[in-house]
Amino acid sequence: MLINAKAVSFLLGVCVAVITFMFLSLLNTVSGTVLFVAAAISFSSTFILSYVVLEFLVFKEIQKVYASLDKVTKKELRDYNKGKEDETINPIKKINQQIAAYITKKEKEIDDLKQIEAYRKEFIADVSHELKTPIFAAQGYVLTLLDGAMDDEKVRHRFLKKAAKSLNGLDALVQDLLTLSQIESGVISMHYEIFDLQSLVMDVFEQLERKAEKKTIQLRLEKTFDEGVYVNADYNRITQVLINLISNAVKYGNFNGWVAVALTETKKKIKVEIKDNGPGIPKEHIDRIFERFYRVDKSRSKKQGGTGLGLAIAKHIIEGHNSKITIKSEINEGTVFTFHLEAAN
C-alpha cells in the first residue's frame, strides 16, 4: 500500500470534504453550488495543510533517519532481514523492521561474546590448574630432596623418579596444547599418504594390549580384509586419534569388557567406528565432550591420568581431514565414535 504524505493528505482532504458536504446538505437554505464549493474548499485546504505538515515536518525527517539507518545497517542486517522484507514503502514500518533486525543481531552477538568469554575464562582456569598440578608435585619432591632427603640414596632415587614423572606429564600436556593451537590456527597441515588402516589398528591394539589385559578387556577388529584397508590420510595424526579413542575405551571401559574397531568400505570413503561396551557417557555431557579439558567424571579421569585434551585433538585432526567425528552413547551399554577417511583402493 502506498503510504506517503500525498496519499494521507488526499484521504484526509476527502474525509473532511465529505463531512462538510453532508453537514451542509442538512441545512435547507444551502444551494447545490455552495455545497460543492464548500466541499472543494475544505478538500483543498485540508489537503494542502496536512501535506505541508506531513511532508515537511514528519515524513521528510523520518526519511532522513531511515536513510542514515539504512546506510549503517544495509550490509550488516542482510541476513537478519531475509524473509522479513516487506514490500511496504511506509518509512515508519521500514524503520521498525530495521531496528528490530538490528536488536536481534546485537542480542545474538552479545550472547556469542558472553559464551566465548565464559569459555575463555574456563579455559584459562583449566590450563592453570592442569599446569599447576605437575609443577607443584615436582617442586615438592625437589624441595624435600634439598631439605635433606638427598642424603638417603633410596629416597633420593625414588623422589627423583617421581619428579621426572611429573615433569614428563607436564611436557605431554604442553605438547598437546601446542598441537591443538597449531592445528586450530592452521600452522600444521595434514601430510597425506596412502597406508593400510587395518594394520595401523592392529599396531595400536598391540601398543595398548598390556593396558587392556590389566582390565581383561578384549581388543578386536570386527571384520578383517585380507587385502588390507587403504586410506589416504596423515599416518601420524590418525595414529594419534586411534590411540586416544581406543585407550579411552580401555581406560573408561568396564572390567571383562571389549573394544571393537569396525572398518567399512563405502563409496569413496572408509567408515571407522570405535565401539566399546563400557559405562557410556550421560546425554548432558555429549555436547561438550570434544571441548578442551572436558571430562565427564573429573576425579575418575584424573586418577587415570587424563587431561581431557585427547578428544579435542582428535576432533581437530578429523576436521583437518575434511571429515567429522561423531559420538553415540548409551548409559550402561557403551559408546561408539565414528569418522570417515578417504579410501585409496
The yes or no reply on residue 126 touching ligand ATP (CB under 6 A) is no
Closest approach of Mg ion to the CB of residue 132, in Å: 20
- DSSP element (H, E) containing 300: helix 298-303
Residues linked to residue 275 through DSSP beta bridges, in sequence order: 260, 336
Q: Is 179 in the site for ligand ATP (CB under 6 A)?
A: no
Q: If we measure between CA atoms, which residue out of 228, 217, 319 comes closest to residue 274?
A: 217
145 contact partners, CB below 8 Å, separation of at least 6: 155, 156, 159, 160
Nearer to ligand ATP, 91 or 310 (CB): 310
Pick from 248, 307, 329, 335 the residue near Mg ion by CB under 5 A: 248
Instruction: Provide the 8-state DSSP code for 149.
Output: G
| Gap between the Cα atoms of 263 and 273, Å rounded | 7
Residues numbered 18 to 77 that lie near Mg ion (CB under 5 A) are none
**Would you say 50 or 244 has its CB closer to ligand ATP?**
244
The phi, psi pair for 195, rounded to 5°, reads -150, 165
Strands 230-234, 218-221: pairing kind: unpaired
The binder of Mg ion chosen from 244, 277, 329, 338 (CB under 5 A):
244
174-183 burial, b at 16+ Cβ within 10 Å, e below that, comes to eebbebbeeb
Q: Is residue 238 a contact point for ligand ATP (CB under 6 A)?
A: no
Number of residues that bind Mg ion (CB under 5 A): 3
Stretch that binds ligand ATP, among 71-79, 102-110, 132-140, 273-281 (CB under 6 A): 273-281
Give the nearest residue (CB) to Mg ion.
Answer: 310
Contact pattern for ligand ATP over residues 283 through 312, marking x by CB under 6 A: ------x----xxxx---x----xxxxxxx
Evaluate the CA torsion angle 229, 234, 236, 237 in order and state its sign: negative
252 scored as a contact of ligand ATP (CB under 6 A): yes
Residues near Mg ion (CB under 5 A): 244, 248, 310
Residues near ligand ATP (CB under 6 A): 244, 248-249, 252, 276, 278-279, 281, 289, 294-297, 301, 306-312, 335
